[in-house]
Amino acid sequence: MAVEYDCCGVEFFEHVAIIVVLVLFAGLMSGLTLGLMSLSLVDLEVLAKSGTPQDRKHAAKILPVVRKQHLLLCTLLICNSAAMEALPIFLDSLVTAWGAILISVTLILLFGEIIPQSVCSRHGLAIGATVAPVVRVLVWICFPVAYPISKLLDYMLGDGHVALFRRAELKTLVKLHGNEAGKGGELTHDETTIIAGALELTEKTARNSMTPLCQTFAIDVNRNLDRILMREILDKGHSRVPVFYEKKTNIIGVILVKNLLSIHPDDEVPVKNVTIRKIPRVTEDMPLYDILNEFQKGHSHMAIVVKKNIYRDRKKIQDLSLDIDVDQKPVDKMVKITKPLHRWKSYPNSQISSRGNRVRRWSRDSAANVLHINDTDLQPFNEYEEAIGIITMEDVIEELLQEEIFDETDVHEDQ
């Protein structure tokens, strides 16, 4: 009798141990299903590259396991279901049928669902990294059953679950991470404003940021640099002054004010005899990012915005630039429209874009961008060309910062 009692006691404790293992195993699978599947590949890649040292280590261990999400999901669910189905079998040998059902439901609900999912939802990264080798083994064990089901899910639902945010969603996400939102974020007001401005910049064009031509200061190429004109230039305080011919909508170039330092007002030097640099032209619907990329090259920090609908064909838009045909004899000099000297490579409708390209540079030297004009050489320019505004690098930066930039010469009233 003693031996039979010992055997029954050993069998009883074996069943209890198996029940405990099954409950813990089912809880682990349930927690991992929530913890690992809630981590998107984008989140893990961000943590692996820019998280804390501990998060980087955890994310690096989890990424290879999570890449095939449907295969991982099928493996975890199969293991969880197997554990829950085996639990009543061992309970039935210890208690009655209704007792086995009651105990199994209680154990699975409390220790197999609620507690594991609560813990893994908060510490899923650390737990997933710890049990990643065990999950790899389970994937290989369940592979014959899980792989066909996962391939079917890939075919029906798609292979990837990359959760990338749109620009509007990113702006909202950035605002929520600001310290002004009251949610514990660390981003300051300036940081959230600049990030939002960078996201909005791709939707804005030259027309949104330009200064209308009626509000700009420009000088006639036929005027003389007398005291009156020099005083006007100094009062405006600009570093660059556009130059027009015949009418203000016919901008032919720009003068750098620093080049006028050596000119005496009493000499009344004609404007056309000083160094006039060619000024690029952009269409009104040209994106600000393309304009910023061209400004970064350093050949010009100012551009003329022209109307798009006044061109008769696409070729005129692509060939819109000034070219100077300078011969050795002064009498042969003239200004005319020919092929472009430095056409911007990001014109609308062009197949070539320089966005994001930081290594491309203009092949001409700075002297090629200078106009050389004689008294009798000025002729009317293309009749289909009409300037409507001026855009500068400062205008683009203001759109990026979403704030006005005031320099020493700006006058503004406090409200």
Can you give the pLDDT at residue 378? 53
Can you give the pLDDT at residue 279? 84
Average the pLDDT over each of 27-36, 314-323, 332-341, 384-393 and give the range with the smallest value.
332-341
Q: pLDDT tens digits for 152-197? A: 988 888 765 556 677 777 888 888 888 777 777 788 888 888 888 8
Q: What is the DSSP string of 189-206?
A: HHHHHHHHHHHHHTT-BH
At 91, the pLDDT band (50, 70, 90 cuts) reads confident
At 145, the pLDDT band (50, 70, 90 cuts) reads very high
- Specify whether the CB–CB gap between 257 and 235 falls below 8 A: no
> Is pLDDT at 108 greater than 70 in this prediction?
yes
Average pLDDT over residues 97-115: 79
Select from 38, 55, 35 the least CA-distant residue to 127: 35
The yes/no answer on whether domain 205-401 falls in CATH 2.60.40.10 is no
Q: pLDDT tens digits for 301-330? A: 888 888 865 444 444 444 444 443 434 333
At 411, the pLDDT band (50, 70, 90 cuts) reads low
Q: What is the DSSP string of 134-152?
A: HHHHHHHHSHHHHHHHHHH
Can you give the pLDDT at residue 408? 58
Mean pLDDT rounded to a whole number for the chain: 75
Write down the domain spans for the chain. Answer: 2-157, 167-199, 205-401
Q: pLDDT tens digits for 33-87? A: 888 888 778 878 888 888 888 888 888 888 888 888 889 999 999 998 888 888 8
Pairing of strands 269-270, 247-256: unpaired
Claim: this prediction has a pTM higher than 0.75: no
> Is pLDDT at 333 greater than 80 in this prediction?
no
Can you give the pLDDT at residue 149? 92
Answer left, alpha or beta for residue 184, where phi above 0 means left and psi between -120 and 50 means alpha: left
